Copies of this chain bind each other. A is one copy, B any other.
Amino acid sequence: MEKELLLMLPGPVPVPERVRLAMARQAINHRSPEFGEVYADCVRCLKPAFGTENDLVILSGSGTAGMEAAVANLGRGRKIACLANGKFGERLYDISCRYGEATKLASDWGTPLPLEGLAASLEAGAEVVTMVHNETSAGILNPAHEVGKLCRKHDALFVMDGVTSIGGDVVEADRWGVDIAIVGSQKCLAAPAGLAAVSVSERARERFCDSPPYYLDLAAYLRTAKKEPMETPYTPAVPLFLALREAGLLIEEEGIEHWAIRHQRLAQAVRAAAAAWGLPLFPETDGLHRYSNTVTAIRMPGGTTDSDLRGLVKRLGVVIAGGQDHLKGKIFRIGHMGAVNAPEILAALGAVQAAMHRLGCPGADDGVAAAAAHLA
């Protein structure tokens, strides 16, 4: 039979059968009460994962479309401070440069963000701050609560990329003072790729800029979401909404706290395996910056290459991620997002461990056993 690979990536993730089958039904009209209900169900199920009571809309596009919508609607012509300690923080800066007067507040990938620099930027009049909450390129979780507090102190708008944290970790957008938060469907929500959900505070809406891209005009999405039945301004990707609704119902059934805490438990197991293997985790953490609970970035074992390691892992049917850009060959990354659980973690760690043995990596203790002890 055709080999189905186990995707242990920081997205896309394995999609539960129930979610996939939701897409197989016949098309429905997107201007109908039936679609309105699907959209409303998605929103109801997602809000707890965001920790928000703000309005929430769904764009038919990737997480990047959601991020651009945030920046385009809040940042045009404004001073934007872009925190960056990884690939997606840098992408937010690149996007911000197309709209406003953007300043990059960067630290090395996977190291703590320059929060003093942010305070200075805010003193100097930054009106919008962008931050990636969970930076998958480096496996680090950034301090949203701290950044939110700084933004509120200076009355700046806070855009948080929650693409790979929302659903996979505790997120409290409202309590943290997040004005726009974004999640991608194909990450911790265990749905297929192609949708971005965006929450928008009242404060953000009051400060919307003129003339965002037509397709990313959040005011239009907010307006049509208030219609009865609920709508999107342009044709939505209906099958993906059907799938997201089903994934949302799965989360609702497990309960968002359990769903998120499961991610923490899986992350601890993977970290325990790395420790047993004698491989350091990549990020530098401190009291504010923590290891990601949705992807673990591990330093590559000595004497082997990225393609050797990941190639052998793939021959065992498991796909893990390498490093991106300048981290290529220096780290590998195991995603633990969405609906996965102990079996998938054990399969992934077993494959990595077997590959390391095969490649003769020295001194590796039994990581699978260490992880299993955590998972039991």
Chain A interface residues toward B at CB < 8 A: 4-5, 7, 9, 11-15, 20-21, 23-30, 32, 60-65, 68, 72, 94-95, 98, 184, 186, 192-195, 211, 213-216, 234-240, 243, 319
Whole-angstrom CA separation of A195 from B238 in the bound complex:
11
Contact at A61–B60, with CB atoms within 8 Å?
Answer: yes
Q: Among A30, A32, A214, A239, which residue has the most Cβ atoms of chain B within 10 A?
A: A214
Write 7 A-B pairs (CB below 8 A) sorted by A numbering. A12-B28, A12-B235, A60-B65, A62-B235, A63-B234, A192-B237, A192-B238
- With contacts A60-B60, A214-B95 taken as known, whether A186 is within 8 angstroms of B27 at the C-beta atoms is yes
Whole-angstrom CA separation of A24 from B194 in the bound complex:
15
Whole-angstrom CA separation of A69 from B17 in the bound complex:
34
- With contacts A62-B234, A194-B60, A236-B193 taken as known, whether A20 is within 8 angstroms of B20 at the C-beta atoms is no
Residue of B nearest to A243 (CB): B239
Whole-angstrom CA separation of A184 from B64 in the bound complex:
21
Q: Among A7, A98, A235, A240, which residue has the most Cβ atoms of chain B within 10 A?
A: A235
Contact at A215–B214, with CB atoms within 8 Å?
Answer: no
Q: A27-B193, A60-B62, A95-B214 are in contact. List 12 more A-B contacts (CB 8 A).
A: A4-B26, A14-B27, A20-B23, A20-B25, A27-B192, A60-B193, A60-B194, A68-B214, A68-B215, A98-B213, A194-B235, A213-B216
Binding site secondary structure of chain A: loop
Contact at A64–B30, with CB atoms within 8 Å?
Answer: no
User: How many Å from the CB of A61 to the closest CB on chain B?
Assistant: 5
Residue numbers in B under 8 Å from A26 (CB-CB): 4, 14-15, 20
Q: Among A11, A192, A243, which residue has the most Cβ atoms of chain B within 10 A?
A: A192
Contact at B61–A65, with CB atoms within 8 Å?
Answer: yes
User: How many Å from the CB of A128 to the closest CB on chain B?
Assistant: 16
Contact at A64–B98, with CB atoms within 8 Å?
Answer: no
Whole-angstrom CA separation of A118 from B348 in the bound complex:
62
Contact at A68–B5, with CB atoms within 8 Å?
Answer: no
- With contacts A193-B237, A239-B23 taken as known, whether A215 is within 8 angstroms of B98 at the C-beta atoms is no
Residue numbers in B under 8 Å from A25 (CB-CB): 20
User: How many Å from the CB of A245 to the closest CB on chain B?
Assistant: 14
Residue of B nearest to A187 (CB): B235
Whole-angstrom CA separation of A13 from B234 in the bound complex:
16
Contact at B24–A24, with CB atoms within 8 Å?
Answer: yes
User: How many Å from the CB of A181 to the closest CB on chain B?
Assistant: 18
Whole-angstrom CA separation of A211 from B98 in the bound complex:
6
Residue numbers in B under 8 Å from A186 (CB-CB): 27, 235, 238
Whole-angstrom CA separation of A134 from B82 in the bound complex:
43
Residue numbers in B under 8 Å from A95 (CB-CB): 214
Q: Among A23, A62, A186, A215, which residue has the most Cβ atoms of chain B within 10 A?
A: A215
Contact at B234–A65, with CB atoms within 8 Å?
Answer: yes
Contact at A235–B184, with CB atoms within 8 Å?
Answer: yes
Whole-angstrom CA separation of A24 from B20 in the bound complex:
5
Q: Among A21, A184, A186, which residue has the most Cβ atoms of chain B within 10 A?
A: A186
Contact at B13–A194, with CB atoms within 8 Å?
Answer: no
Residue numbers in B under 8 Å from A243 (CB-CB): 239
